[in-house]
Amino acid sequence: MVIQPLNNATPLAVASTVIPPAVAGAAGVYKLQLAGQILVCRSSTAPVLAKMDGGAYFPLEGGFVIPGPDQGFTSITLQNNNAQPVVIVLYAGKSGVNLIPTNTQKVFSTYTKGTDLKGGTAIAAAGRVTFNGLDAGNAAAGPRKQITVQNMDAALNTIEVLDGNGVSMGVLPANSPPWTVETSGVVTVLAPAGASRVLVGEMFYTA
């Protein structure tokens, strides 16, 4: 989120702080002097509770814009009920603040699985190996994020990579650099020129 004061606005006050974690059921609390008429939470590593001066607590997390009372506020109290510390960045100013939101994308966790790095996967002449985009050994996993294929054939036979419709996506000479594509769909590795050996690595979403 980019925050720019308008010509008739006072400069923004900014505070970046770490709220201590909850311990033995008691919330971590941090109070800071931050005056203004509007409170903007630029970012927060987890949701927290906040209150202006002696008011009631309200939820606060990254992207929230909270108008203050008519007379404004002079202090903010932050309450962390999480087991981990929370890093938070706050802005405060008058209502003459121009807020330009920036789209954000959540990054989902992934893990990687591959064929035997010493021997690779053997493919008979004119044979093929198909990867359907799912981890057969982990039913709780999400779809594949990306797949990497490398031709490791000692006899210098080429391999071909096909999509789910049988359309060629690339022909890989032996010992060429690894080939990577972002796809959750079916990928087939074909050995059209003779028996080959390939390394295949797949990255899956954890859920």
- The string of pLDDT tens digits covering residues 44-63 is 989 999 999 989 999 999 88
In Å, how far are 17, 36, 199 from 32, measured between CA atoms?
9, 13, 56
Domain locations in the chain as residue ranges:
2-100, 110-205
Please state, in angstroms and rounded to a whole number, the distance separating the CA atoms of residues 187 and 130.
6
Q: What's the confidence (pLDDT) of residue 107?
A: 63
Class of domain 2-100: mainly beta
Beta bridge partners of residue 172, listed in sequence order: 159
Give residue 173's pLDDT.
92
- pLDDT tens digit string along 89-141? 888 887 645 444 444 555 678 899 887 655 678 899 999 999 999 998 898 88
DSSP single-letter state for residue 64: -
Residues 6+ apart with CB under 8 A from 71: none
Q: Do domains 2-100 and 110-205 have the same CATH topology?
A: yes
Q: What is each CA distance from 136 to 25, 92, 141, 144, in whole angstroms?
A: 41, 51, 9, 11
- What's the predicted TM-score (pTM) here? 0.49
Mean pLDDT value of segment 158-168: 90
Give the pLDDT score at 2. Answer: 35
* Contact (Cβ atoms closer than 8 angstroms) between residue 130 and residue 192: no
Bridge pairing between strands 196-205 and 187-190: unpaired
pLDDT at residue 92 in the model: 87
What is the spatial distance between Cα 3 and Cα 149, in angstroms, rounded to a whole number? 45
Task: Work out the pLDDT band at 7, boundaries 50, 70, 90.
Answer: very low
Q: Across all residues in the chain, what is the average pLDDT? A: 83
- Residue 33: its pLDDT value, please? 87
Domain 110-205 has CATH 3.40.50.620: no
What is the model's pLDDT at position 147?
A: 92
State residue 63's pLDDT score: 86
